[in-house]
């Protein structure tokens, strides 16, 4: 059966398609059911922006009825086609999102705007890691959803969330992420580069990081964060890059009674004014 090639043909063919649907579902072969599903989807996509809510509900009933009777490949194709459509039928999107096959659920979980926060939380609480990873890839992931993903997600899920600028985290969520970053410099770096991470968690990440990662994060941080870090005296020299720690040590030794300065100490002290210049902070 050929596809409808214009909106006029599509609308004129609606009744005949509905008649064929009943025949395909009850008496057709697997190939016939798949072909009918594809044609109904074509018809919906060609006219989706002009359809009323009642007409979309009709397509919802039809497609929901059909996806229970087609194989995985056909469901996966349907999911890919409907996932980016803002007017996609609600119930069929929910059913595809709950599908145990990630090739079916994945495109909808990562793209569809028809899924509510409650839908995503429910799926994140029930499904496996592949489903959680797909949710973590959404352009926007609200705090209620990230809470579940951080609690249940494996390393891949947490790392994907960390680099997703559209994911938002509560104080509790960030606290758990920082704890999970223990001995994971890759995650520390990803979290530390987020512009929305609170300063106290950023400091905690710096204390957990290796010197190489710490220096990268400090170099990437903005001037306001530099000033805040310098004022956080409770961390002392631990957050300083190696050169500044050596300079601080040289200054302390030079101040000791009876101490004679070495060449290295003279060098560091001679550069103390430069080190205080804001242009050279954390370099």
Compute and round to an integer the Cα radius of gyration of the chain. 29
Q: How confident is the model at residue 14 (pLDDT cuts 50, 70, 90)?
A: low
Give kind and range of the element (H or E) at residue 279: none
**pLDDT reported for residue 85:** 97
**pLDDT reported for residue 24:** 62
Q: In degrees to the nearest 10, what's the CA dihedral of 122, 126, 127, 131? A: 30
In this prediction the pTM is 0.76
**pLDDT reported for residue 32:** 83
Cα separation, 79 vs 115, in Å, equals 13
Q: How high does pLDDT run on average in the chain?
A: 81
Q: Which residues of 94-106 are buried (b: 16+ CB within 10 A; e: fewer)?
A: bbbbbbeebebbb
**pLDDT reported for residue 219:** 86
The mean per-residue pLDDT over the stretch 57-68 comes to 91
Does pLDDT of 245 surpass 90?
no
Cα separation, 68 vs 75, in Å, equals 9
Cα separation, 12 vs 278, in Å, equals 72
The percent of residues in the chain predicted with pLDDT above 70, rounded, is 69
Does pLDDT of 15 surpass 60?
no
The mean per-residue pLDDT over the stretch 234-250 comes to 50
> Which tokens hold the place of 161?
């969330």
Does pLDDT of 226 surpass 50?
yes
Does pLDDT of 129 surpass 60?
yes
**pLDDT reported for residue 94:** 98
Does pLDDT of 137 surpass 50?
yes
Q: How far is CA 175 from CA 115, 126, 171, 204, in A?
A: 27, 23, 6, 10
Handedness of CA 121, 125, 126, 132 (dihedral sign): positive
CB distance 91 to 50 below 8 Å: no
Angle at 116 (CA atoms; ends 115, 121), nearest 5 degrees: 100
Q: How far is CA 136 from CA 100, 167, 198, 232, in A?
A: 17, 8, 21, 34
Q: How confident is the model at residue 71 (pLDDT cuts 50, 70, 90)?
A: very high
């Amino acid at each position: 059966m050929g596809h409808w090639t214009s909106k006029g043909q599509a609308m004129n063919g609606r009744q005949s398609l509905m008649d064929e649907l009943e025949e395909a579902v009850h008496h057709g072969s697997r190939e016939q059911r798949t072909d009918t599903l594809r044609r109904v989807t074509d018809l919906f996509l060609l006219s989706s922006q002009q359809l009323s809510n009642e007409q979309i509900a009709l397509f919802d009933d039809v497609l929901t009825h059909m996806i229970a009777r087609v194989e995985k490949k056909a469901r996966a194709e349907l999911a890919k086609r409907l996932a980016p459509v803002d007017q996609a039928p609600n119930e069929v999107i929910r059913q595809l999102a709950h599908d145990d096959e990630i090739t079916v659920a994945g495109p909808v979980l990562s793209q569809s705007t028809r899924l509510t926060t409650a839908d995503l939380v429910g799926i994140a609480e029930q499904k496996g890691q592949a489903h959680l990873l797909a949710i973590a890839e959404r352009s926007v992931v609200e705090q209620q959803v990230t809470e579940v993903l951080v609690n249940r997600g494996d390393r891949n899920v947490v790392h994907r969330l960390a680099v997703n600028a559209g994911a938002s985290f509560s104080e509790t969520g960030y606290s758990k992420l920082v704890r999970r970053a223990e001995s994971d410099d890759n995650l520390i770096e990803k979290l530390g580069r987020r512009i929305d991470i609170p300063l106290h968690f950023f400091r905690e990440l710096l204390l957990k990081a290796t010197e190489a990662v710490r220096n990268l994060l400090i170099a990437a941080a903005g001037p306001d964060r530099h000033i805040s870090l310098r004022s956080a005296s409770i961390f002392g020299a631990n957050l300083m890059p190696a050169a500044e720690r050596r300079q601080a040590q040289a200054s302390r030794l030079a101040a000791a009674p009876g101490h004679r300065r070495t060449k290295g100490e003279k060098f560091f002290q001679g550069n103390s004014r430069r080190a205080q210049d804001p242009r050279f902070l954390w370099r």
